Amino acid sequence: MPLASSHRPLVHPRANRETVLEGMHVAYLFQRVRRRSIGFVVGPDGLEVRAPKWVTIKEVELGLQERGEWVLRKWAEMQERQKNIRQIEWREGASLDYLGAPIHLHLSPENGRSELNDQRELLLALPHNAEPSQIRDAVQAWLMREAKVLFESRLNFYAPLMGVQWRRLSLSNAGSRWGSARVDGAIRLNWRLIHLKPDAIDYVVVHELAHLHEMNHSPAFWKVVASILPDHMARRKELQKENLANWA
């Protein structure tokens, strides 16, 4: 299935390998990781391929050719979703989502620090003539602080229930992944999750903690997830509908 000419070329900004799929040139990011099989991810930046060390480049290429139509279809779908991403105007009174509900920005130079009041106004410790970039940076800093505190709280809540122990949390700015987990207990969560409803955040937290049992997406992995969140499939479908704000 050829990619429509109205879509961006499938060229990842950090591409280190190239191929041709269904007659189309594709440049993708290739990484060696600790996993059991080849993984293909199509996100806003393009195609990312992850493979264990024992898989040869020839096998990676064969896998890509077998999935060529799927890759191009997912890229076309991703481009359509990107058209609907909401742009934020960084100004007094602008709104954005926090934990699934809107909050409004208010420039409050008299405040010593940024904080959310009972009227769901985010009071920013900035002058009234602040530049849009200053407002954006202040909002992002506040959201990231809130995200770190909330994510740690949810990890600490679910980890004992699942019989696992996480070691370190870092915030991700990835364009195509909500989270990741390593066998050593290191968890990465996309800070933009803070825009979403608590149910969505909990799903991602449980998903990554489940990887500390199973570093794959096998039936055993999903059994772990289902034991904690019986409605995980519904939560996953809702999460797949989300378009995050463009912070450029």
Q: Is 66 exposed, middle or buried (0-12, 13-18, 19+ CB in 10 A)?
A: exposed
- Helices 132-162 and 198-210 sit at what angle, rounded to 10 degrees? 50
User: What pLDDT shows up at residue 1?
Assistant: 39
Same domain, residue pair 119 and 233 = yes
**CA angle 220–224–229, rounded 5-degree value:** 140
The pLDDT of residue 99 is 95
pLDDT (average), residues 187-195: 94
One domain, residues 213 and 120: yes
Number of neighbouring beta carbons within 10 Å of residue 92: 15
pLDDT in tens, 144-184: 999 999 999 999 999 999 999 999 999 988 766 889 999 99
63 belongs to a structural domain: yes
Which alpha helices (H) appear in the chain, and where do they start and end? Answer: 57-66, 68-83, 132-162, 198-210, 219-228, 232-240
DSSP-derived secondary structure for 71-82: HHHHHHHHHHHH
Examine the domain organization and report whether 27 and 130 are in the same domain: no
Predicted confidence (pLDDT) at residue 246 exceeds the cutoff of 60: no
How many C-beta atoms surround the C-beta of residue 199 within 10 A?
A: 14
The contacts found for 168-172 with CB under 8 angstroms, 24 or more apart, are: 171/144, 171/147
Same domain, 163 and 128: yes
Whether residue 40 is predicted with pLDDT greater than 70 in this model: the reply is: yes
Q: Which amino acid, one-letter code, is at 211?
A: H
Q: Which residues contact 231 (CB under 8 A, 6 or more apart)?
A: none
Structure tokens at 61: 């290429």
Say if 246 falls within a structural domain. Answer: no
The answer to the question of residue 247 being in a domain is: no
For residue range 202-223, what is the model confidence (pLDDT) as tens digits?
A: 999 999 999 999 999 999 999 9
Domain containing 79 equals 17-83
Do the domain assignments include residue 118?
yes
Q: Is the pLDDT of residue 6 over 70?
A: no
Q: Based on the fold, state whether residues 58 and 119 are members of the same structural domain.
A: no
Is residue 197 one of the residues assigned to a domain? yes
- Do the domain assignments include residue 6? no
In a domain, 89, yes or no: no
Number of domains the chain contains: 2
Q: Are residues 40 and 163 in the same domain?
A: no
158 Cβ contact list (under 8 Å, min separation 6): 202, 205, 206, 209, 228
Helix (H, G, I), strand (E, B) or coil at 3: coil
Taking only the tens place, the pLDDT of each residue in 220-239 is 999 999 999 999 999 999 88
| Residue whose tokens read 């004992």 | 160
CA 195 – CA 143 distance, rounded (Å): 9
Contact in structure between 84 and 99 (CB atoms under 8 Å): no
pLDDT score at 4: 42
Distance from the Cα of residue 33 to its chain's centroid: 19
Q: How far apart are CA 235 and CA 196, in angstroms?
A: 12
What is the rounded distance in angstroms from the CA atom of residue 86 to the CA atom of residue 84?
6
Using DSSP's 3-state secondary structure scheme, residue 123 falls into strand
Q: Is residue 50 part of a domain?
A: yes
Whether 240 contacts 209, CB under 8 Å: no
CATH number at residue 229: 3.30.2010.10
